[in-house]
Structure 1
Amino acid sequence: MTSADAIVLAGGRASRMGGVDKPAIVIGGRSMLDAALAAVRGCGEIVVVGPHRPELDTGIKQVREVPPGSGPVAAIGTGMSALGAGAAPWIVVLAADLPFLTADTVTELLRRANESTTEAVFAIDGSGRPQYLVGVWRRDALAATLARLDALVNQPMKAIVPTETTLVELPGTADCDTEEAVRRAREHLASAPLTLTEARQAIGAALSPLVPYEAALGEVPGAALAAPIVAAGALPRFDVSAMDGYAVCGDGPWRLRRDIGFAGGARPVGLLPGEAVRIATGAHVPDGTSSVLRDEFAAITGDELARTPDTPIRADIRRRGEDQHVGDLLAPEGTPVTTALRSAAASVEITSALVRGPVRARIVMTGDEIRSTGPLQAGQTRDSIGPVLPDLLAGLGVHTVDRVHLRDTAHGFDEMLTATAGFDFLLVVGATGGGAADQLRAALTRAGARLVVPRLAMRPGGSTVVAELPSGPTVLGLPGNPFAAVAVLLALTPTIVAARTAAPTPRGIHGPLHNAAAITGPVQRVAPARYTPEGGWLGDGTVRTAHLAGLINRDGLVIVPPNAPDGTTVEFLPLPR
C-alpha cells in the first residue's frame, strides 16, 4: 500500500452528537480513529487532521484546519499541505467515524483505483449512499481541484468531487454520526464474530501495554524493549585481526619477528616498516600494521615472509567501531528480547535495559468433568490439554505462573476475575460457549471487562473471546476442545504478547497450500499441515477436535480462507517444539 499516502479527518463539529469528540468514541474495543489508522497502516505518510492527540505514534503527522471545524474540504486541504508534493500517486482520504473499517477496504479501493481512469474512487455503503470521505484520489487531480477554489472554508464536498468517479460497494463503510448509530454499532460488534485479521487488529488497538521496568536482559526472554538500546562501547573495541595470519607493515617481503599476538593476550609492540608478526584472529594488531596477510596467502623462508604470487591484496583488519560506535542505535523500542539481541547488546557493553514483559500467564481449566490426576470416575475426562499449555506458551514467549482448575458454578469466575495480582494474561480453557455451564461471558460483563473480540469467524474456534479486565490482565477464553484451543492459542497469542509488550505486529509466514480446495469451507478454517519438498504445505482435510492426535508428525497449522482453490497462499502457524 506504499503507493499511497493517507489523510485521516479526525476533527469536525459533531453537531448531531452534541459536539463530542467523535473519533475518540470507542466501539468494539477501539476508537473510531484507531479503526481508521489501522486501515491505512500500510500507507506511506499518514496525516491526521484534527485536535492534537498525544497518544498517537510520533511517525504520524498531526495538523489542524484553520479555523477548527471549517469543514471536510478545508481539512483535506490542510492535510494535503502537510503531505506536500510527495511521490505516492494516490491519496487515501478517510473520515474517522467508521467503526467497521478495515485495511481490506482500503486495499480494495486502491486496487480499483489502479484499474480506473477516473480521478477518484469512492465507497458505497450498504444503503447505496456514496461515502465521499471513504475514497482514493489521484494526488495531482486532488491538488489541482483544491487549488482552483477561491476558499476552502465551509465548502461542501460536492465542490471537489470530480464529475467522473468510480463507485465501489464495500462492507464496513457506514458512518456513525448519531448516538443511535453508535449504539447500534456497539450492539453489533458486541456479538459479531471477527475474522482472524480483524481480531488481531482489534487486539493490537485495544490492549494496554505493560508498565516498563529495568531488567537484566538475560532474565527476561519474551519481553520487549521499552526504550532504544544504544551502544555503550565501540565494536570492535580496538583494531583486531580478522584472520589467522601475519600483521605486516608496508609492502613485502617482511622480516618475521619471533613474538606472537593472541586474542586476549598482550598486544605486540609496534611494527616498523618491513616487519611482520604472527597474529591470531581477534588479536589486537600492533601499531604500524598496514594489513593482515592470511596464512593461506603467506610464503615463509627462514625469517622472511612474502606474499604468495597471484593472491588478492586485502586488509583483513576489523577497525575500531566499524560495526558500532558509542551512541549508535543497536535496537529500537519494541524490539523483542531474543538471544540475538542479548548477544549483540553484550558485545557493546549493555546487559540490562528498560523492558515490558515477559507476559505472565495463569492457566484456568474449567469443567467438572475434567480430571488432571488420579483415576477417572464415571463421566470424567482426562485433562489432555492443560499439561502441555505451559510448553506451548513458552514457545510463544509467555511465562506460565500457575495452572488451576475451576468448577462449573454460576459465579465461579467472579473471584478469579478480580484476584488478578501476579499475572498479565488469564488463559481460560472452556466455558466460552452458550451452554448451561459456560459462564465466562456473563462473568466478564459483571467484572466490567472491556470486550475486544466477541467471537471468531473461524472453524474450529468460533466461541473464542478476548477481553481486558479493569485491573489490567488480558483474558483469552479458548474453546474447550483441545485442537480448537491450540489453534486459537497459536493464532492469537503472538498478537496479544506484541500488544502487551508494545512490540511490532508479528510477521506472518505465508505460502501455497497445495490441497486448499479439499479443506476450505464457507468460513475461515484451521487445519494441521506438513511441509512439502517443493515448498508450501499439505493440509489435513479431516480434523478431530477432541484431542491432539492430529498434530502428531505435523509441522504446524494452516489458516485457510473461505472457498479457497488449490495453491492459495495461506498463513502458516508453526508448532512450538
Structure 2
Amino acid sequence: MSGTDLPADGTPQPAPPTFGVPAHDALILSGGRSSRLGGEPKALLRAGGTTLLARTVEAAAGAGQLAVVGPEEYLRASGLAPGQCLSVREDPPYSGPAAAIGAGLDALDRAGAGAPWLLVLACDMPGIAAAVDALLKAAGSPGTPPGTSLLACAEGRAQPLAGLHDAAALRAAVREQREAGGLENLSVFKLLARVQRREVPVPAGSTSDVDTWEDARRAGAVAGPGPSNAGAPEPQQRSTYGKPGGAA
C-alpha cells in the first residue's frame, strides 16, 4: 500500500518505512579442497557463463571493502581484475572456514576497512544474491540489536557461510578463539558460539550450495577452464590483488 492508497474505510494510511542498505565490508571464502568434486575448484564452476566466484563477488558488490580468501589464481581465472578485491589465504591452507574468516578479517584490517557490518559468503551458492538482499534488509530494519550475527535461513536450514555479522562482535569472537587455542579446523557455529545470532528467512534455493556433481547439475553449473586443487602448488601469501593501502 502506498502513501496515497486508501483502505476500505477511506482512511489515508502512511507509506511503509524504507530502510537504506547498511554500510558493510565483505569476505568471500573460496579456498576449500572440493574433495567431492574430485578436486575441481567450486569457485571456478560456471553457471550462466560466469564462475561461481565471480557471481559471489557480484552479489557482494555493495561492500565498501571486499576480500577473497583462497588461491589468487582463482581470481584471475574468474576474470577479476587487480584492485577489484583483496586476496589472502588462510595459514595453513585448507584449515577451515573459521581460519579463513580470521585471515580475511586481518586483510580487511590492514586495508583500513571499518564498516559496522561484515558480509561473509562461501563462493559455492549460485543463487546467493537473493539471500544477500534479505540479509541487508534485515540489518537495516529496526529491532536488530547491536552485536548480532544474521544467518540466512532457507527452508528451515541456517547457512553459516551466508551471514551478515556485526563486525566488532565477529572480530571479538575471532580474537577470543585465537587466544583459546586457534581457529584451525574450527566450524563457523563454534566461532559464533558466544555471539547473539538471528536467522533471517531467505528465498528457497538461494543458499543451496554445490558440494557434489549432482549439486552442480541441479544448479546448472559446469566445470570451467582453470587450475585444479589436485597437485596444485601452495599459493603465495602476498598478493598483487588489493585496493590501495591494503596488503594480503
Question: TM > 0.5 between the two?
Answer: yes
DSSP 3-state at the match of 2:150: strand
Alpha-carbon distance in structure 2 between the residues aligned to 1:40 and 1:69: 23
DSSP 3-state at the match of 1:81: helix
AA at the equivalent of 2:173: T
Q: Which residue of 2 aligns with 1:101?
A: 128
Q: Which residue of 2 aligns with 1:287?
A: none
- The CA deviation at 1:125 is 2.3
Aligned with 2:89 (options 50, 61, 64)? 64
Aligned with 1:184 (options 200, 218, 226)? 218
Q: Which residue of 1 aligns with 2:170?
A: 142
- The CA deviation at 1:106 is 1.7
DSSP 3-state at the match of 2:186: coil
Q: Which residue of 2 aligns with 1:155?
A: 186
**1:163-189: CA deviations, max 9, x gaps?**
5311112121111111100011118x9
Is the Cα contact below 8 Å between 2:99 and 2:185 reproduced in 1?
Answer: yes
**1:65-101: CA deviations, max 9, x gaps?**
1111110000000000000063210000000000112
AA at the equivalent of 1:47: A
Q: Which residue of 1 aligns with 2:199?
A: 167
- The CA deviation at 1:111 is 2.1
Alpha-carbon distance in structure 2 between the residues aligned to 1:2 and 1:164: 19
Alpha-carbon distance in structure 2 between the residues aligned to 1:42 and 1:157: 23
**1:341-370: CA deviations, max 9, x gaps?**
xxxxxxxxxxxxxxxxxxxxxxxxxxxxxx
Q: What CA RMSD, in Å, does the superposition of the two structures yield over aligned residues?
A: 1.9
Q: Which residue of 2 aligns with 1:48?
A: 68
- The CA deviation at 1:32 is 0.9
Alpha-carbon distance in structure 2 between the residues aligned to 1:24 and 1:32: 6
AA at the equivalent of 1:70: S
The residue correspondences of 1:101-500 to structure 2 (distance < 5 A) are 101-102=128-129, 104-115=130-141, 116-117=144-145, 119-126=148-155, 128-149=156-177, 150-161=181-192, 162-171=194-203, 172-186=206-220
AA at the equivalent of 2:214: E
AA at the equivalent of 2:160: Y
Q: Which residue of 2 aligns with 1:81?
A: 106
Alpha-carbon spacing, 1:101–1:158, altered in 2? closer, same or farther (3 Å)? closer
Alpha-carbon distance in structure 2 between the residues aligned to 1:119 and 1:139: 9
- Structure 1 segments of 4+ aligned residues over 6 angstroms from their partners: none
Is the Cα contact below 8 Å between 2:117 and 2:167 reproduced in 1?
Answer: yes
Unpaired runs of at least 5, structure 1: 190-577
DSSP 3-state at the match of 1:93: strand
Is the Cα contact below 8 Å between 1:2 and 1:44 reproduced in 2?
Answer: no
Is the Cα contact below 8 Å between 2:169 and 2:195 reproduced in 1?
Answer: no
AA at the equivalent of 1:180: E
Alpha-carbon distance in structure 2 between the residues aligned to 1:136 and 1:79: 14
Q: Which residue of 2 aligns with 1:32?
A: 52
Alpha-carbon distance in structure 2 between the residues aligned to 1:154 and 1:65: 11
Q: Which residue of 2 aligns with 1:526?
A: none
Alpha-carbon spacing, 1:107–1:24, altered in 2? closer, same or farther (3 Å)? same
- The CA deviation at 1:157 is 1.6
Is the Cα contact below 8 Å between 1:51 and 1:64 reproduced in 2?
Answer: yes
Q: What TM-score comes out, normalization by structure 2 length? A: 0.70
Bigger share in strand = 1
**1:422-452: CA deviations, max 9, x gaps?**
xxxxxxxxxxxxxxxxxxxxxxxxxxxxxxx
DSSP 3-state at the match of 1:146: helix
**1:116-136: CA deviations, max 9, x gaps?**
11520011123x211010000
- The CA deviation at 1:8 is 0.3
AA at the equivalent of 1:154: N
Alpha-carbon spacing, 1:163–1:91, altered in 2? closer, same or farther (3 Å)? closer
Is the Cα contact below 8 Å between 1:10 and 1:51 reproduced in 2?
Answer: yes
**1:498-547: CA deviations, max 9, x gaps?**
xxxxxxxxxxxxxxxxxxxxxxxxxxxxxxxxxxxxxxxxxxxxxxxxxx
Alpha-carbon distance in structure 1 between the residues aligned to 2:124 and 2:132: 15
Is the Cα contact below 8 Å between 1:5 and 1:45 reproduced in 2?
Answer: yes
1:91 is aligned to 2:150? no
DSSP 3-state at the match of 1:37: helix
Is the Cα contact below 8 Å between 1:2 and 1:42 reproduced in 2?
Answer: no
Is the Cα contact below 8 Å between 1:14 and 1:20 reproduced in 2?
Answer: yes
- The CA deviation at 1:2 is 6.6
Structure possessing the higher relative contact order (Cα contacts under 8 Å, 6 or more residues apart):
2
- The CA deviation at 1:114 is 3.4
Unpaired runs of at least 5, structure 2: 1-20, 223-248
Q: Which residue of 1 aligns with 2:233?
A: none
Alpha-carbon distance in structure 2 between the residues aligned to 1:158 and 1:170: 19
AA at the equivalent of 1:159: K
Q: What TM-score comes out, normalization by structure 1 length? A: 0.31
Is the Cα contact below 8 Å between 2:22 and 2:140 reproduced in 1?
Answer: no
What number of residue pairs does the alignment pair up?
186
AA at the equivalent of 2:102: G
**1:445-494: CA deviations, max 9, x gaps?**
xxxxxxxxxxxxxxxxxxxxxxxxxxxxxxxxxxxxxxxxxxxxxxxxxx
AA at the equivalent of 1:174: S
